[in-house]
A and B are shown apart, each in its own frame.
Chain A
Amino acid sequence: MPPFASGSRWYSMSNANTAGSAKQHWPYDRPPTIKDLRTRTCWICLGESTPLTSRPKTRQGWIHACSCSLVAHESCLLAWIASAESASHSSPSKASRCPQCNTKYIIRSRKPLLLRILNRAYHYATVGYRAITVCAVISGAFHFYFGRELADIAWHTTDFLSVPLILLSSHTSVLNTILPFLPVLYMPASMLFPGGHGSLFPPPLTDAVNYPPSPALTLFMAPYIGMAYHFASNKVVSWISRKTPGGPHSYTRRNLVVHINRVAEEPDQNVLPNDLAPGIDNDGEEPDNFVPNNDEPPAAAVPADDPEPAGVNVIHLTEGYVLRLIVSTLLAPFVAPVCGELLKRLSKHSAVLRTVLGIDAARGIGKIGLRSNVTALSGPLAFLMPVGLQYDGRIEDMDPVWWRNALGLSLFVLISDATTMLHLWLALRERRSRTIMSRNFSGVDYSGLDLIVEDEESGNQGVAE
């Protein structure tokens, strides 16, 4: 069924643009433009402008973006286009064309190269994340079905069992409630059976003064650092969104949907307080002019008085970033050593970095590795140890792999989050900077338009014959 099968009926209502009081002819050589219309009715909100007596200097927020007689508030049209882009079920291409004459709107916006690169990267990353997610699920199943050899290879990753939790804790609020207790759950084995000298997991607080912190203390701190990071990054996001032109915004981290400026949506507990900025229209509020009145005064001519239509302010970048969360959580045990290794290589060139990483130059880089120097704990207590590994030297003598891996992973999270924020910020700015090109009325039957014809020299209004 064609969507506009009976569309012609509709225009009897919005025909204020064409059924003007006086049919006039057009004495000028140039085609008329939106500025020459005496009365205008927005085809989206049906708002009307006050009839004009003289030609305005600007188009006053109105546009004629297509090749037929439909005119609209630019803000309404942008809201419609933005909404169609955000809605998953509808095709954005539909909204970028006039529903009556099918002319494509010409939209200009601030789209720096960086945004285009990020958009492209986002697109490819989404595809990549999908593939990785599928592979991970398949290989997980493989482990289940094809036995222990492969699973044993992955065994060492349990060293970093709680490291992915840093990631999760920085992204979700769900875990925030249980995270503070995780270290406590994690600790008992080593608390109860302190291995003293050789244990990888001595009581976490006994060696708090050492630098770098012991593996136990690193793991112990991870969730708290994650929460602090979550808190701080939300602060940064709210700061960015305040700085973005276009007024107050809000931002939800959980589903990475950005709401800017008074969007009438279900309140989200994660929405930042600046969503509560004054000027929100309460949904349940009864409109004042509920009883329709035929001689209702015409709407203000300047759409600055118009309430901003909803919809222009929501940006969805959901799928790619949700997948990224899953993938980065899955891959954290692999990313961490890579980042740690990178940091180690970099530290060859920086004494400061070596100090930060706790790499003792005198001891030689990587002389003592975690894996090569550990022996499996044997004996009756083995099953109680969370990791089941023991080092038969002193913690202080070990190359602090855990520390640089933790730092590397933190940096990785920080950088990828910063990229996300940059992308969102640029996308917000692009959305905000959009303008639609207004066309003239060439090709439209002028006799159907209610045009202002005036003597442009003297400014007197002339009546055309």
Chain B
Amino acid sequence: MATFSSRRLTKELVALREECPAGITLLSTEDLKSWTLSLELLGESLFKGEVFALRFTFGSRYPIEAPEVVFVVNDKYKAPMHPHVYSNGHICASILGSEWSPVLNTSTICITLQSMLASCKKKERPEGNDRYVKNAPLSPKNTHFLYDDDSV
């Protein structure tokens, strides 16, 4: 249902072009369904000075269904060293899965991920990162994450 999601995405894009949350920049929108945003942490944190990029992919059922959100991993960007972020950029965050609600949007997802990084105590990969990355599906939406740790 392209019109249903594209109407909302158009409005979100307008709002993002007007004003992005602090530390978030809209890098590119190849089309309405795939956006790239950069993300950095402005305050004091373990990730100060690092810039990451997030790739949003919106399905035709957005916002009923959560978008696919991954950290870009290429020559320029790396995935942050965080216990909830795998080295291939996949993110284990409940708001992108079972806790998704249409009340969330691109900018709230970015802010939530910012605060997830900001509250990080120790830079490390999730347990079993290598195993996961080796077998991971192309889209993290096909992974069944268990959201067991609310503290980080």
Contact = CB atoms under 8 A, between A and B. Distances in A.
Residue among A1, A99, A100, A282 having the largest count of chain B Cβ atoms under 10 Å: A1
B105 interface: yes
B7 interface: yes
A148 B115 CA distance: 65
A289 interface: yes
Nearest to A44: B102
Interface string A1-14: 10111110110010
A16 to B, nearest CB: 10
Chain A interface, DSSP helix/strand/loop, else mixed: loop
Residue among A47, A90, A292 having the largest count of chain B Cβ atoms under 10 Å: A292
Interface residues of A, number: 47
B130 interface: no
A292 B13 contact: yes
A360 interface: no
Contact of A83 (B8, B64, B107, B144): B64
A6 B97 CA distance: 17
Given A3-B94, A45-B63, A310 B1 contact: yes
A299 B150 contact: no
Nearest to A14: B103
Contacts of A70: 103
B131 interface: no
B102 A287 contact: no
Given A45-B7, A287-B32, A281 B2 contact: yes
A251 interface: no
A264 B62 CA distance: 12
Contacts of A306: 4
A285 B2 CA distance: 7
B11 interface: yes
Contact of A296 (B10, B21, B95, B97): B10
A419 interface: no
Given A91-B98, A264-B61, A9 B2 contact: no
A69 to B, nearest CB: 12
A262 interface: yes
B101 A3 contact: yes
Interface residues on B, range: 35 or more
A306 B6 CA distance: 12
Nearest to A2: B150
B3 interface: yes
Interface in A36-55: 43-47
Residue among A91, A310, A311 having the largest count of chain B Cβ atoms under 10 Å: A310
A89 interface: yes
B42 interface: no
B150 A307 contact: no
Given A43-B103, A80-B102, A283 B60 contact: yes
B102 A6 contact: no
Interface in B108-152: 108, 111-112, 115-116, 144, 150, 152
A15 to B, nearest CB: 11
B1 A290 contact: no
Contacts of B31: 286, 290
Contact of B103 (A99, A282, A311): A99
Contacts of B13: 292
A283 B108 CA distance: 26
A299 to B, nearest CB: 7
B6 A287 contact: yes
A1 B100 contact: no
Given A4-B103, A13-B15, A287-B32, A311 B2 contact: no
Contact of A46 (B11, B61, B95): B11
A47 B7 contact: yes
Interface of B: 1-4, 6-8, 10-15, 17, 21, 31-32, 60-61, 63-65, 93-95, 97-105, 107-108, 111-112, 115-116, 144, 150, 152
Nearest 10 CB-CB pairings of A with B: A287-B6, A3-B99, A99-B103, A6-B111, A310-B1, A44-B102, A99-B101, A46-B11, A292-B14, A311-B64
17 contacts: A1-B94, A1-B95, A5-B115, A7-B103, A9-B108, A13-B105, A46-B11, A47-B8, A83-B64, A99-B102, A99-B103, A264-B2, A281-B1, A282-B2, A283-B2, A310-B64, A311-B65
Given A3-B104, A90-B99, 20 more contacts: A1-B112, A5-B112, A5-B115, A13-B105, A45-B7, A46-B8, A46-B11, A79-B64, A80-B64, A83-B61, A89-B98, A90-B98, A281-B2, A281-B3, A281-B60, A286-B31, A289-B10, A290-B10, A296-B10, A307-B3
